[in-house]
C-alpha cells in the first residue's frame, strides 16, 4: 500500500472515530440545559437533538470551506502532504477529545482543529508562510468574541427574566403576567438568528428578506413579530390556564435545544467532517492539482452520516461525564461533586473576597419525585439554550467556525452568576472548576498545535512507518488515559452510575486530598 492510499484509509477511519469523539464532548453540551432542568430524559433529549443536528448538516454553511482551505493553503502542497495535514489533525484530535471527555472536561473541536491544522501545515512544510494567519486570527477572534457575547448576553438576560419571574416559574399568575412577553422575545430572536441569519442562503428565506425586511425595516418587523407572538401566547395561556403556564418555559427550553442542535450541525459538524472528507476527495481526484481538488464541493449525504455518528457518541458514558461536570459547575444546589486543582480554588476564594454578599435569586434547590436533582429551572435552561443557539447561528451565517462547547459553557456560568448560584455553598469549587476549564482550553490549543506539527513532520519524513508510529502512540495514550480517568471517576464520583448526573457524594478537596460527603 502506498502512502496516499494509506492516508485515505486512515483518514476515513479517523473521520468516523472523530465524529464519535465529538459526540462525546461537544455534542454532549447540546442537551445539558433541557436534561438538567428535567424537562425530558437524557435519552429522549439526545435523539431529539441528534435529529436537529442531522437536519442542520443539510444546510451546511461556508464554515466547511474555512476548515478545508481557510486555515492553510493546500494548493502549495502536494496531494500527499495535504492529506497528511488532514489526517494528522484527526490523529491528534481523537486522542485530545478522548482525554478531555474521559475526565469530564468540555473542550472545543473547532478551536482544537484550527490549531491542529496550523501545526500540521507547518510540520509538513517547515514554513510559516503556508498558514493563512489573517484568517486564523479572524477565526480565533470569532471564538473569543462568541464566548464574551454569550456570557454577557446570558448574564444580562437572565437577570432581567429572573427579576420578572423570580422563583415562581410554575405559578400561574406570575407566568400569565410575564411569560408571554418573555417567551415571545425568545421566539423572536431565535427566528431572527436561526432563520433570517442562519438560513439566509435558502432562496425562500432570501426572498422573504427582500420583500418584507427591506420594505418595512428590520427593527419594525421584529417588533411586530414579538407583539404577535406575545399576543398568541397570552391568548393560549388564558384559555388553557395551568396546562400552558407549567410547561411554557419547558417548551422554550426544548425549542432552544433544537435550534442550537441545528446550528451545531451547520457549524461544529462541518468543522469535524471537513478534514476527513477533504482527504477522501483529494485521493479520488489525485490526478488533479491540490488547488483544484480542494474546490470540488463536498456532498451533503456525507455530512448526514457524520451527524449520525455524533449522535451515537452522545449516548456514551464519557458524554454523561461531560454533561455532569458542566451542569454541576452552574448548579443551583449549594453542594456538588466536582474536581478543581488547589490553585484554582485558592484563586476563586480570592475573587470571592471582592464580591459583596447579596440575596439568592435562583429557585431553592429542588428534586423530582424520583429524587433527581433539578440543577436548573426551565427558565434558566431556556436562556442557556436560546442564547447559545443564536450566537452559533449568527457565526455560521458569517462563515466563522465557533465552539458550541465554549459558547454553552459560558452561558451556563453566566446564568449561574446572574442567579447568584456561585455566591453560596461550594462557591469556591464552582468558580475554581470554571477557572480550570478556561485554563484547560488554552492548554488544549497549545498541545494540539505542537503535537500536530510533530506528527505531520514524522509522517512526511518516515511515510507509512511514521503513520503507524503516530497511530500506536494514539492508542497507548488512550489506554493510559482510560485507566487514570476511571480511577479519577471512582474517587470523585463513586456513587454516580449510568444516567445519574446528580454528582452528589464524595466531593474531594483537591488541595488537601480529603473527602466530604454532601
The pLDDT profile of the chain, 518 residues, written as one tens digit per residue, is 588 888 889 988 988 888 888 888 877 778 888 887 888 888 888 889 888 888 887 765 556 666 666 788 888 888 888 889 999 999 999 999 989 988 888 888 888 888 999 999 999 998 888 888 988 888 889 889 999 999 999 999 999 999 999 888 888 899 999 999 999 999 998 888 777 666 666 666 666 666 777 777 778 888 998 999 999 999 999 898 888 888 899 999 999 999 888 888 877 777 777 788 878 777 877 766 666 656 656 677 777 888 888 888 887 777 778 877 788 888 888 888 888 899 999 999 998 888 776 677 778 888 878 778 888 889 999 999 999 988 888 887 777 778 888 898 999 999 988 888 887 778 889 999 999 999 999 999 999 999 999 999 999 999 999 999 999 999 999 999 989 988 888 887 665 544 444 443 333 333 333 333 33
Query: Measured on CA atoms in the order 120, 263, 147, 209, is the torsion positive or negative?
Result: positive
Rounded to an integer, what distance in angstroms lies between the CA atom of residue 66 and that of residue 56? Answer: 17
CA torsion angle 163 168 170 173 (round to 10): -80
506: left (phi over 0), alpha (psi -120 to 50) or beta: left
Rounded to an integer, what distance in angstroms lies between the CA atom of residue 461 and that of residue 412? Answer: 45
Q: Where are the beta strands (DSSP E) in 325-460?
A: 366-367, 373-374
pLDDT at position 498: 42
Q: Tell me if 413 sits within 8 A of 437, measured CB to CB.
A: no
Report pTM.
0.85
CA neighbor of 200 nearest in space, from 42, 445, 396: 396
Rounded to an integer, what distance in angstroms lies between the CA atom of residue 173 and that of residue 167? Answer: 13
Q: Which residues neighbour 503 within 8 Å (Cβ) at sequence distance 6 or greater?
A: 324, 325, 328, 331, 336, 337, 338, 493, 496
Rounded to an integer, what distance in angstroms lies between the CA atom of residue 275 and that of residue 111? Answer: 14
Q: Which residues neighbour 148 within 8 Å (Cβ) at sequence distance 6 or greater?
A: 410
CA neighbor of 310 nearest in space, from 20, 18, 93: 20
pLDDT at position 399: 74
Rounded to an integer, what distance in angstroms lies between the CA atom of residue 450 and that of residue 173? Answer: 58
- Residue 368 CB-density burial (10 A; 0-12 exposed, 13-18 middle, 19+ buried): exposed
Amino acid at each position: 500500500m502506498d502512502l496516499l492510499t494509506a492516508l485515505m484509509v486512515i483518514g476515513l477511519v479517523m473521520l468516523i472515530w472523530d465524529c464519535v469523539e465529538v459526540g462525546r464532548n461537544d455534542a454532549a453540551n447540546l442537551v445539558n440545559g433541557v436534561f438538567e432542568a428535567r424537562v425530558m430524559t437524557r435519552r429522549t433529549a439526545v435523539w431529539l437533538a441528534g435529529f436537529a443536528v442531522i437536519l442542520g448538516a443539510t444546510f451546511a454553511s461556508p464554515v466547511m470551506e474555512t476548515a478545508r482551505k481557510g486555515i492553510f493553503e493546500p494548493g502549495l502542497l502536494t496531494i500527499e502532504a495535504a492529506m497528511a495535514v488532514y489526517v494528522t489533525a484527526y490523529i491528534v484530535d481523537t486522542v485530545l477529545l478522548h482525554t478531555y471527555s474521559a475526565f469530564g472536561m468540555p473542550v472545543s473541536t473547532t478551536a482544537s482543529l484550527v490549531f491542529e491544522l496550523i501545526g500540521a501545515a507547518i510540520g509538513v512544510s517547515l514554513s510559516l508562510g503556508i498558514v493563512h494567519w489573517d484568517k486564523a486570527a479572524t477565526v480565533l477572534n470569532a471564538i473569543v468574541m462568541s464566548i464574551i457575547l454569550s456570557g454577557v448576553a446570558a448574564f444580562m438576560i437572565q437577570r432581567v427574566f429572573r427579576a420578572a419571574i423570580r422563583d415562581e416559574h410554575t405559578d400561574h399568575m406570575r407566568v400569565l403576567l410575564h411569560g408571554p412577553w418573555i417567551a415571545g422575545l425568545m421566539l423572536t430572536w431565535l427566528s431572527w438568528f436561526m432563520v433570517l441569519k442562519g438560513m439566509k442562503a435558502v432562496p425562500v428565506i432570501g426572498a422573504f428578506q427582500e420583500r418584507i425586511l427591506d420594505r418595512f425595516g428590520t427593527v419594525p418587523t421584529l417588533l411586530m413579530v414579538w407583539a404577535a407572538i406575545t399576543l398568541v401566547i397570552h391568548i393560549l395561556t388564558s384559555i388553557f390556564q395551568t396546562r400552558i403556564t407549567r410547561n411554557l418555559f419547558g417548551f422554550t427550553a426544548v425549542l432552544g435545544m433544537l435550534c442550537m442542535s441545528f446550528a451545531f450541525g451547520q457549524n461544529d459538524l462541518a468543522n469535524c467532517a471537513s478534514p476527513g472528507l477533504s482527504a477522501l476527495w483529494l485521493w479520488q481526484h489525485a490526478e488533479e492539482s491540490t488547488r483544484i481538488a480542494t474546490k470540488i464541493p463536498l456532498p451533503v449525504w456525507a455530512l448526514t452520516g457524520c451527524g449520525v455518528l455524533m449522535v451515537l457518541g452522545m449516548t456514551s458514558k464519557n458524554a454523561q461525564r461531560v454533561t455532569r461536570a458542566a451542569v454541576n459547575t452552574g448548579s443551583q444546589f449549594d453542594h456538588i461533586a466536582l474536581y478543581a486543582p488547589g490553585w484554582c480554588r485558592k484563586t476563586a476564594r480570592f475573587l470571592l473576597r471582592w464580591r459583596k454578599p447579596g440575596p439568592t435569586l435562583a429557585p431553592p434547590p429542588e428534586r423530582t419525585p424520583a429524587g433527581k436533582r433539578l440543577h436548573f429551572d426551565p427558565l434558566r435552561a431556556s436562556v442557556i439554550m436560546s442564547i447559545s443557539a443564536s450566537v452559533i447561528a449568527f457565526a455560521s451565517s458569517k462563515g466563522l467556525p465557533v465552539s458550541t462547547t465554549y459558547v454553552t459553557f459560558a452561558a451556563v456560568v453566566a446564568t449561574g452568576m446572574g442567579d447568584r448560584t456561585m455566591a453560596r455553598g461550594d462557591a469556591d469549587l464552582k468558580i475554581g472548576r470554571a477557572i480550570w476549564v478556561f485554563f484547560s482550553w488554552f492548554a488544549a490549543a497549545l498541545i494540539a498545535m505542537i503535537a500536530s506539527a510533530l506528527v505531520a513532520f514524522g509522517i512526511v519524513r518516515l511515510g507509512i512507518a511514521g503513520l503507524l508510529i503516530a497511530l500506536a502512540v494514539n492508542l497507548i495514550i488512550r489506554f493510559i488515559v482510560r485507566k487514570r480517568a476511571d480511577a479519577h471517576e471512582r474517587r470523585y464520583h463513586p456513587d454516580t452510575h449510568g444516567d445519574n448526573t446528580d454528582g452528589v457524594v464524595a466531593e474531594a478537596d483537591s488541595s488537601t486530598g480529603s473527602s466530604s460527603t454532601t
